[in-house]
Structure 1
């Protein structure tokens, strides 16, 4: 089952590894006889002590086994978000640095630097992760993504005070609900849903590119181009950006389900421990996407008001 998130293109997340096949009955009988004989001969106190120590020891973690675990992936994910938050503060301060009473215009340099740097690193990480995972590149991506998030958040906050905390709370709420539903088994990724998701994502990307072209050429007006346009539904004017934004939040939420599903699959397949970095990278990509979409929805709503 393929994921819509390009972070999970490593075979360890894609393939189910078959379980061990039990030996034939005759082999089992022979094994049981050999085991019984060995048991009667193993009277050495040192052997017994070793067995007791093995059973008393705590379960082996990812460090001991060299395998991917949920706990280790969570720790890596939190580390990446910590880097993102630190550089987000830098991006925020950098954006607001030139703002004064005489000059209320912020700089968009950290926004652009973070976006371009993050995009380039995301492509490098995605295309090279099948052969080797490089945590340094993933940390660098988190740093650039932090600049982008901090820069765009400061810009929106200057236009609509209080919008960042609103978007952050909404993002945490959506992530929490999706995680709870996935953990309870009520929501899972499926082959059919993945196909629908892929078609919807491609359609959204085409719409986004068309919108950018129309904005650059001056065909559309407003802060968000086509998103700022309104359509009439039963006599009620509803911003197009609100309708599309809600649909995209649903897409981002399903992408998060795919991320959790791929991490669970990697753990089940006994993937190498280093692939936990790809799990954290994938979740960070999706959560940032979700935050930006929610930020835009709130901006459109507040802009209309």
Structure 2
């Protein structure tokens, strides 16, 4: 299975074929254990590549564990929080600088997404700049009389979504299947296209564009954005689970942290916009 998250989509974690070459090298389950029962069998984009492109283990490289993922996700999210604190305290009134930080974070995120190997420096740089952007914008919103306290509500809402999706995934209330993935991908593409069209109408036509960010339509659009973010979380959990099960190299835990961070940032931002519409 390939995730909607660009961080994971190039990695090819798959319960059908394993993470290319890891079953034999890291002692993970073999593909034949799942043959015939696994909906992802044969979906690994690395499975047919020449051997020289498959990740190679060395005695110094051990497989990724869940502890690795948790530790690096904590470090990446901690960097976001540190950047947000700086943005909140010192850049609340300098929105141009904050937007510049957001654009720089986007560039770093795209660079990392298209790299075959994780770069901790890029990932932490993205986290710091994204934090500055979110902190400055959140501080600005918090200073508005009608929206005081909205950022904290968005943080609590994001945490609630994360916990709910983790429980739903672990108890298999939500199962990440090929059909589930296709549905989320199509919905996400439609959401992003509508957002882009609305932005263009706002830039060239003025006002609120097509109305996707205000009123009843804005509330509906915000709810869809939060739900999509929650579904992305389930897909990210699946990729992490498969990476651990099939012995992905330890360095891949940085990509797991990066993917989870980008999804949580999405949920927070959509949650903040939804709360702002509801309280305004």
Please say which structure displays the higher CA radius of gyration: 1
Q: C-alpha displacement at 1:138, in angstroms?
A: 0.6
Alignment of 1:278 with 2:274, yes or no, is no
Compared CA separation, residues 20 and 177, structure 1 to 2 (3 A): closer
Aligned to 1:95, which of 91, 95, 103? 91
Count matched residues: 242
1:108 alignment counterpart: 95
Partner secondary structure for residue 91 of structure 2 = helix
Range moving further from structure 2, 13-22 or 163-172: 13-22
Alignment of 1:76 with 2:76, yes or no, is no
Aligned to 2:154, which of 162, 167, 170? 167
Q: C-alpha displacement at 1:218, in angstroms?
A: 3.0
Q: C-alpha displacement at 1:247, in angstroms?
A: 1.4
2:3 alignment counterpart: 3
1:86 alignment counterpart: 82
Query: Larger % of helix: which?
Result: 1
Q: C-alpha displacement at 1:12, in angstroms?
A: 4.8
Q: How does 1:248-267 map to 2 (within 5 A)?
A: 248-267=225-244
Aligned to 2:194, which of 204, 207, 210? 207
Using structure 2 for the length normalisation, give the TM-score: 0.81
Compared CA separation, residues 228 and 74, structure 1 to 2 (3 A): closer
Q: C-alpha displacement at 1:229, in angstroms?
A: 4.9
Aligned to 2:62, which of 44, 59, 66? 66
1:71-125 per-position Cα deviation (integer Å, ceiling 9, x unaligned): 11001000011111111111112323xxxxxxxxx22134212211111011110
Q: C-alpha displacement at 1:9, in angstroms?
A: 2.6
Compared CA separation, residues 202 and 71, structure 1 to 2 (3 A): same
- Tell me the distance in 1 between the aligned counterparts of 2:12 and 2:204: 45
Q: Which runs of 5+ in 1 are unaligned?
A: 23-62, 97-105, 231-238
Partner secondary structure for residue 211 of structure 2 = helix
Is residue 3–residue 258 contact of structure 1 (8 Å, CA) maintained in 2? yes
Is residue 79–residue 128 contact of structure 2 (8 Å, CA) maintained in 1? yes
Using structure 1 for the length normalisation, give the TM-score: 0.74
